[in-house]
Structure 1
Amino acid sequence: MTSPSPVDDDRGCLRMVLAVPLVLLTLVAACFCRAALTIRPSGPWDDDAYAGIVLACVLAVGAAGAVVGVWLLPSVRRVMGWWWTGPAVVSGVIAAIRYVAAG
């Protein structure tokens, strides 16, 4: 009888530990994306609203980029599939589109 590899034994725990920053950064990206989509300027003179939209978009794209950056680490890629980055990337793309549309 052979025993399982030590790497296989730790993958479940390692996956849970590595999921924490990915999930938190994904939630940050989603929250800022939602903020960018819900801020409505009163008119073309409402510079504060436009600044808020731009800031929310930049932070959403930055958080999505951080998710991809964390996932690109070899130790993370080994135990977590590419689909972990999907929701954050979608939020980042939506925020980028909102940024272009607001400008």
Structure 2
Amino acid sequence: MSHPDAHPDDADRGCLRVVLAVPFAALTLLAAWFCWMAVTIRPSGAWDDDAYRGIEVSCLATLALAGAVAVLWLLPSVRRVMAWPWVVPAAALVVIAAVRWATGT
């Protein structure tokens, strides 16, 4: 028996949360992989343009993927189901990638 104050859409939110967790998790994991790549690439010297380019591309990919998580979360229908902590890991990756891109070494 359902609670008299229960909203009929509450039962569907759990299933929708599981469905939306897939793109959130996939985008965040991809962003984390590119962020890890950006952090672990070490240029051999000031002349190593390929390593610097790899850092930039990895940081840009991290920012794009984490930005996609934020854009997805900004949709009102998604925000009603997914709490803000789902965006925190992506936001942390943005900060790490931005610092890595800014320092470049």
Range class of TM-score, shorter chain: over 0.9
What displacement does 1:3 show? 7.8
Q: Which residue of 1 aligns with 2:69?
A: 67
State how many pairs are aligned.
Answer: 103
Q: Which runs of 5+ in 1 are unaligned?
A: none
Which residue type is aligned with residue 24 of structure 1? Answer: A
**d(CA) in 1 for partners of 2:73, 2:21:** 10
Q: What is the rounded CA distance, in whole Å, between the counterparts of 2:19 and 2:8 in structure 1?
A: 17
The letter of the residue matching 2:99 is I
Structure 1 residue ranges, 4+ long, deviating more than 2 angstroms after superposition: 1-6
TM-score (norm: length of structure 2)? 0.93
What is aligned with 2:90? 88
What fraction of aligned residue pairs are identical, expressed as a percent? Answer: 57
Bigger share in helix? 1
Q: Please give the per-residue CA displacement for 1:17-75, whole angstroms capped at 9, x wherever unaligned.
A: 01111110100111010000000000000000000000000000111110000000111
Distance in 1 between residues matched to 2:26 and 2:40, nearest whole Å: 21
Specify the SS of the correspondent of 1:42. coil
Alpha-carbon shift at residue 92 of structure 1 (Å)? 1.1
Kindly provide the amino acid, as one letter, of the partner of residue 33 in structure 2: C
Distance across 1 between alignment mates of 2:5 and 2:47: 69
Q: Equivalent residue for 1:6?
A: 8
Unaligned runs of 5+ in 2: none
RMSD, aligned α-carbons: 1.4
Give the alignment partner of residue 38 of structure 1, picking from 32, 37, 40: 40
Structure 1 CA distance, aligned partners of 2:86 and 2:8? 24
